[in-house]
Structure 1
């Protein structure tokens, strides 16, 4: 058994870059910043460390990201880690680690106008968006009441990498 699940809350670092592939599939990519705040043990001063994540949305989720995600938008993203490789122009192998979003929720937006209050950093009802995949379920013969998900292999994603 294995699990590849990522949960992130952060702010979009840029507007989504949208591409339409030859297969007709749509993809949107953007960066997401997550910031860890802590206190330095030796000096007692507050510190921050920001991680930047490459987010990839496919199909309907890409359309929604194109419409609603903007630089500064606070998002909750649920997805999985995917690492891919490619050869650069000099023939060197490069590796890219991305978060493939399965769903996300808009939590709010940084206000450009400081006079505009944002309650708790989120709108009253934040919409949630989800990408659906057909995941077959199999029952174990000895225990018919329990099901276990099969390894999810989305062949369409592997066929149409956006690079």
Structure 2
């Protein structure tokens, strides 16, 4: 038995791209930057670095969620990893690992400082999760 489950929080690296397949199925693509920390062996200091994760969401929920997201939005995502491979137009083989989103929680605050709305557009989204402080003492 294997388990394929991903939980990440981060910020959108670009505005989401919503498209529709010829059969009318909604597909939402966006990127998320997930920060991590590691200790610099030369200086002994902790340094932040970003991991960039491609995410895809499908169906009617994709269209609903798209209107609340923009570059910089902070989100929590639950989903699964999917690896795909294809041949580019120049004949080279390409592949990528992405997260297929099952659940998405909005974590951003709007311009008034309240949670649960997307950037002051006035449309109520899901309640936001509390951010958990990062523990600097975890040695990675």
TM-score (norm 2): 0.76
> Per the alignment, in what secondary structure is the counterpart of residue 62 of structure 1?
helix
User: How many angstroms apart in 1 are the aligned matches of 2:69 and 2:116?
Assistant: 17
Gaps of 5+ in 2: 118-124, 128-140
Tell me: CA distance 1:15–1:2, structure 2 relative to 1, closer, same or farther (3 Å): same
User: How many angstroms apart in 2 are the aligned matches of 1:83 and 1:5?
Assistant: 14
What is the aligned partner in structure 2 of residue 74 from structure 1? 74
Write the deviation string for residues 96-126 of structure 1: whole angstroms up to 9, x where unpaired. 11100001100115x7xxxx6747xxx1686
Gaps of 5+ in 1: 129-163
What is the aligned partner in structure 1 of residue 8 from structure 2? 8
Larger radius of gyration: 1
Q: Which has the higher strand share?
A: 1
> Per the alignment, in what secondary structure is the counterpart of residue 67 of structure 2?
helix
> Per the alignment, in what secondary structure is the counterpart of residue 83 of structure 2?
strand
Shift of 1:64: 2.4
Q: Report the RMSD for the aligned CA atoms in angstroms.
A: 2.2
Instruction: Work out whether residues 116 and 126 of structure 2, in 8 Å CA contact, stay in contact via their aligned partners in 1.
Output: no
What is the aligned partner in structure 1 of residue 126 from structure 2? 127
Write the deviation string for residues 51-104 of structure 1: whole angstroms up to 9, x where unpaired. 000000101231123111111110000000001111101212110111000011
Shift of 1:37: 2.8
Instruction: Work out whether residues 75 and 108 of structure 2, in 8 Å CA contact, stay in contact via their aligned partners in 1.
Output: yes
Q: Which has the higher helix share?
A: 1
What is the aligned partner in structure 1 of residue 65 from structure 2? 65
What is the aligned partner in structure 2 of residue 29 from structure 1? 29
> Per the alignment, in what secondary structure is the counterpart of residue 32 of structure 1?
strand
User: How many angstroms apart in 2 are the aligned matches of 1:44 and 1:84?
Assistant: 38
User: How many angstroms apart in 2 are the aligned matches of 1:65 and 1:13?
Assistant: 16
What is the aligned partner in structure 2 of residue 45 from structure 1? 45
> Per the alignment, in what secondary structure is the counterpart of residue 71 of structure 2?
coil
